[in-house]
Amino acid sequence: MTSTQKDQHGARSQRSQEADKPHRRKGEKTFSCDECGKDFTRTGHLKRHQLIHSGVKPYSCELCGKSFTKAGGLKNHQFIHSGVKPYSCELCGKSFTKAGGLKNHQFIHSGVKPYSCDLCGKSFTLAGGLKKHQLIHSGFKAHSCELCGKAFAQNGDLQRHLVTHSGIKAYSCDFCGKSFSNKQYRNIHLRIHTGNDVYCCDQCGKLFATGAQLQQHMFSHSKERAYKCDLCEKTFKSPHQLNIHQ
């Protein structure tokens, strides 16, 4: 067999071996993470993903100490400290450090909430919002306050709670002067003065800033005590009262 014939035979043999391999469609995700089941199109992407499960975070921010699994995560985080927010919402003017932040924000203005909780029906604009919400139903509270022991499902809730121990109430109502430790609480309170988005009890006419507050109030009009303590069998009108008791 000549050299040319050998080369041609080798090429045919290689093509034959490639044909025997399982075909993978473009974009098909054939590499799965054993830890969480997430699928990837390339083995390199899977390996980078698996760093998340390792718990190793070798990239640390020199300004705040926050650590990251990937260098890209640290680089994105450092924009926060720069104070530069080049991405602005055309509808409300809110600015963002990253384009992704702006894109996620714009869903709020669309009014579309495609992610719903199977347990309570509450809907969310983003999948991440639903995922965080579901921690509430799980009963798992991984974030505890070192000062009072109160536990929270989300770290953000713990951070807001910690402000209450400081005694600082930096957010004041322009109408009545009442102060709040949390900006969100102040904004909710303002609804009472402005009359915007207030909720009225059809039993007694009392006004509430949120639907949740009205719902909680409605238990006071009920004679039924459907919530019972497992330890002493004492009964309560609302789940909130039961939680305080326990």
The type of residue at 171 is Y
Question: Is the same domain home to 130 and 181?
Answer: no
Does a structural domain hold residue 20? no
In terms of residue numbers, what domain contains 87? Answer: 46-140
CA pair distance 105, 97, nearest whole angstrom: 12
Judgement on whether residues 69 and 117 belong to the same structural domain of the protein: yes
Query: Which backbone phi and psi does 33 adopt, to 5 degrees?
Result: -80, 125
Number of domains in the chain: 2
| Over residues 184-194, mean pLDDT | 81
**Is the pLDDT reported for residue 128 higher than 80?**
yes
Cα–Cα distance measured from residue 231 to residue 16, given in angstroms and rounded to the nearest whole number: 72
pLDDT band at 159 (very low <50, low <70, confident <90, very high): confident
pLDDT digits (tens, 9 = 90+) for 57-72: 888 888 888 888 888 8
Question: Has residue 18 got a pLDDT over 60?
Answer: no
Q: In this structure, are 131 and 179 located in the same domain?
A: no
What is the identity of the amino acid at 183?
A: K
191 and 121 housed in the same domain: no
23, amino acid identity: H
Residue 152 lies in a domain: no
Question: Does the structure show a pLDDT above 80 at 195?
Answer: no
Which residues contact residue 209 at a Cβ distance below 8 angstroms, ignoring those fewer than 6 apart? 188, 189, 191, 192, 197, 198, 199
Residue 72 lies in a domain: yes
Q: Tell me, what's the pLDDT at 156?
A: 83
The reply to whether 180 and 107 lie within a common domain is no
Q: Is residue 4 part of a domain?
A: no
**Same domain? 122 vs 205:** no
Domain membership of residue 11 (yes or no) is no
Output the average pLDDT for the chain: 80
Assess whether 175 and 131 both reside in one domain.
no
Band (148; pLDDT cuts 50, 70, 90): very high
Place of tokens 């939680």: 243
Residue 89 lies in a domain: yes
**pLDDT-derived band of residue 121, with 50, 70 and 90 as boundaries?**
confident
In a domain, 236, yes or no: yes
β-pairing, 235-236 with 39-40? Answer: unpaired
pLDDT score for 26: 55
**pTM for this predicted structure:** 0.39
pLDDT over 50 at 15, yes or no = no
Q: Is the pLDDT of residue 100 over 80?
A: yes
- Looking at 90, 119, 140, which one is the last position of a domain? 140
Residue 15 lies in a domain: no
Residue 233 maps to which CATH number? 3.30.160.60
